[in-house]
């Protein structure tokens, strides 16, 4: 077989966001603002986060941060629910707020001329929500319906079971969107108390990208949010240590009448702060992402014909998110699929990936960067990422070198750090034990 020689893509570093094109400023109340100008379109995007999420919730409180974030736009001291959305729609804008484990994410978009209107509305819903009882009850009903649907979803139930196995007695074992029994108990008083204690500007980040001069963007954010304070704000607790699975931990969730089983298999992986995160990302791409879901897709889906889908993910965040494999299979093929997945993991941790595999994945990582950064939304997301993980304003200009610097030895060393085919959490959901 003739070896095809190719080189990694060469990017024009000057076209990528960097210290010369990103302006960063911190307000006296702790809010960090990043701005990048782009006058190629008339729009402006805001993206940001507050350091408030479900971390610290007990099992009885699970979903409270999520419901609070969704409740912010249900009414304020100045506007009703209908008036809030009329204000957004009247200028053709978008504004969404949602909470996860560590942060509450804010995303908005408008014409550049309406940036002040959008930021004023954001300030209003963050600082002065009233949480009207009728709206909260309606929102709770919507969430209970969504949770009832989740309870019948094989993929969602397998993920919940995996989290309970892989993160036993850890905050990551809890669902950030809660459960039916917890959501049904939340009241307007509960939500108001959470908002009063946890929401504030400390640690907040706002990114503005679009057809607005950077200095004008700073001024607009400062006018809208610069006076916000909450000296009573309670910080989230520190993330406790993680214990990796010992042996093969297994949990099966029986859902009658389903046509497939979902498998979620894996272990806690690296955080985004881990020095081996890039090597883990490239190793994961080879294992179950690149092309038609990498090696796992080829072994489980293409060659064995067992899976409707089979792929792997590495979800590094502030803490050790899961490095896992997800597969949807025929109920009769569950055990064989698990064996094949474990075999691919074993191969990744015992033999170096090929030179070609690594080069192809490095080329993919580098080549797709400009595509990610071609929209205001993509740039805003990228700037939020580098601020959240302290990567530096020159990160994307250094990115091609960082990707190219990963070696085959780095990949196998990192895979061995986190993956072991004989020590995994394995969750299965579907018609287990039913006649095929």
Q: What is the mean pLDDT of residues 168-183?
A: 97
pLDDT at res. 302: 86
Nearest-angstrom CA–CA distance, 296 and 119: 45
pLDDT at res. 350: 98
pLDDT at res. 7: 83
pLDDT at res. 134: 97
pLDDT at res. 291: 81
Boundaries of every domain in the chain: 19-225, 248-430
Residue 315 contacts residue 358 (beta carbons within 8 Å) = no
pLDDT at res. 4: 52
For the chain, give the percent of residues with pLDDT over 70.
98
Nearest-angstrom CA–CA distance, 265 and 250: 9
3-state secondary structure of 207: strand
pLDDT at res. 119: 98
Residue 299 contacts residue 344 (beta carbons within 8 Å) = yes
The answer to whether residue 17 scores a pLDDT higher than 50 is: yes
Q: Phi and psi at residue 298, in whole multiples of 5°?
A: -70, -45
Identical topology for domains 19-225 and 248-430: yes
Nearest-angstrom CA–CA distance, 172 and 222: 35
pLDDT at res. 5: 60
Nearest to 249 by CA among 151, 156, 338, 340: 338
Q: What is the mean pLDDT of residues 65-80?
A: 97
State the pLDDT confidence band at 434, using cuts at 50, 70 and 90.
low
Which contiguous run of DSSP H or E holds residue 32? strand 32-37
Q: What is the mean pLDDT of residues 300-305?
A: 88
Nearest-angstrom CA–CA distance, 232 and 296: 50
Residue 205 DSSP code: E
Multiple choice CATH, 248-430, 3.30.830.10, 3.40.50.720, 1.10.10.10, 2.30.130.10 = 3.30.830.10
Class of domain 19-225: alpha beta
């Amino acid at each position: 077989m003739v070896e095809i020689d190719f080189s990694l893509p060469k990017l024009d570093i000057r076209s990528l966001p960097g210290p010369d094109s990103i302006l960063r400023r911190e307000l006296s109340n702790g809010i960090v603002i990043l701005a990048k100008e782009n006058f190629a379109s008339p729009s402006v995007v805001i993206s940001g986060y507050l350091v408030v999420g479900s971390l610290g919730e007990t099992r009885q409180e699970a979903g409270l941060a999520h419901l609070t974030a969704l409740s912010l736009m249900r009414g304020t001291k100045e506007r009703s629910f209908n008036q809030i959305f009329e204000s957004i729609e009247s200028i053709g804008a978008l504004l969404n707020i949602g909470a996860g484990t560590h942060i509450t994410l804010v995303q908005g978009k408008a014409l550049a001329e309406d940036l002040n209107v959008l930021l004023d509305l954001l300030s209003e819903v963050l600082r002065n929500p009233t949480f009207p009882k009728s709206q909260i009850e309606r929102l709770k009903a919507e969430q209970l319906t969504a949770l009832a649907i989740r309870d019948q979803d094989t993929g969602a139930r397998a993920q919940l079971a995996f989290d309970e196995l892989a993160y036993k007695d850890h905050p990551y074992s809890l669902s950030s969107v809660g459960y039916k029994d917890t959501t049904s108990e939340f009241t307007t008083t509960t939500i108001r108390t959470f908002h009063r204690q946890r929401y504030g500007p400390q640690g907040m980040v706002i990114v503005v990208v679009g057809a607005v001069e950077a200095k004008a963007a700073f001024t607009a954010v400062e006018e809208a949010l610069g006076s916000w304070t909450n000296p009573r704000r309670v910080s989230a607790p520190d993330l406790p240590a993680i214990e990796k699975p010992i042996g093969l931990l297994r949990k099966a969730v029986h859902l009658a009448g389903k046509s497939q089983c979902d498998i979620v298999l894996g272990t806690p992986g690296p955080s985004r702060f881990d020095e081996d995160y890039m090597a883990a990302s490239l190793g994961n791409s080879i294992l179950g992402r690149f092309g038609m879901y990498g090696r796992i897709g080829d072994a489980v889906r293409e060659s064995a014909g067992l899976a409707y889908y089979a792929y792997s993910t590495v979800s590094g965040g502030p803490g050790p998110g899961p490095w896992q494999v997800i597969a949807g299979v025929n109920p009769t093929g569950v055990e064989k699929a698990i064996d094949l997945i474990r075999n691919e993991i074993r191969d990744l941790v015992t033999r170096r990936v090929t030179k070609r595999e690594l080069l192809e994945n490095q080329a993919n990582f580098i080549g797709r960067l400009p595509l990610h950064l071609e929209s205001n939304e993509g740039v805003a997301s990228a700037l939020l990422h580098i601020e959240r993980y302290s990567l530096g304003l020159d990160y994307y200009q250094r990115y091609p070198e960082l990707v190219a610097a990963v070696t085959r030895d780095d990949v196998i060393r990192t895979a061995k750090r986190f993956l072991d085919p004989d020590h995994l959490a394995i969750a299965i959901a579907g018609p287990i034990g039913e006649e095929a």
